[in-house]
Amino acid sequence: MEKLRLRTVLGNHPHIQAVKRGELCSELFDLDFTEFTPTNTAFKPMVREQAFDVCEMAIVTYLMARAHGKPLVLLPAAMVGRFQHGHALYRADQDPLVPGDLEGKRVGTRSFTTTTGAWMRGILANDHGVNLDRINWVTFEDPHVAEYVDRTERAPKGSAIIEMLKRGELDAVLGETSSDPALRPLFADPAAEATRWYARHGVVPVNHLVVVTEQLATSRPDVVRSLYDLLKRAKASAGPASVPDLLPFGVEANRKPLERMIDYCAQQALIPRRVAVDELFNATTRDLN
């Protein structure tokens, strides 16, 4: 049987470099890579047009796409995972802010549907008692899923989120980091805060996994399983995983992060209802571990 050529978008992560260099490959398919910088710019065409066979995708984008019936299937293969507490900033010349001070303030985020933003809002609401409805949200981009109705205030066209923060047009921002001395993190010691959060919840905040088209998953389940195996071998070839493993592979390894993000997305009305983790996969991908 002739090898398939799969149109593929994956970021330039260290744990998949062996695949991108061709050092690891499959007998069933070849990956035809298209580069997007940043990688998240590929999510919209994948959701709206199924423009690729294989695509890295933020988990919130996938949850929303699934809620709106997009023909995509999730693979439990993490491409990006990180603790989020450092991704919230305010101006250093302000009085010190704590999470509860954000109520009544103007807070910017690239899009209300970004995964880092959803993680941070979930942390603020569930661990610090912040009422998210009392924050005036300012956004800069459309959601990847066109059906989602974004009711946030839109920043003026061409505005830059960090510059608006430095000019005082925003009180804080989520989903951003900066080494600029004019800015400081909302959490004074983000690493220590993340350590405490992990000790409390035992959850690795996964941002990006991988999706394939439903057509590929149903017509060639052997290819999809081989793809997962290839990515898993590439991760193993990159060396020992961090502790905790920020790039979990397998349904069970991703269960806690997915459960937590489903809860956050339902709380934030990004999806209409909570779903079970097993609903996110199909017969081809549900037993991948």
The pLDDT of residue 76: 98
The pLDDT of residue 1: 63
- Tens-digit pLDDT profile for residues 159-200: 999 999 999 999 999 999 999 999 999 999 999 999 999 999
- Tens-digit pLDDT profile for residues 70-106: 999 999 999 999 999 999 999 999 999 999 999 999 9
Low-confidence ranges of the chain (pLDDT < 70): 1
Q: Phi and psi for 219 in degrees, rounded to 5? A: -85, -30
pTM (2 d.p.): 0.96
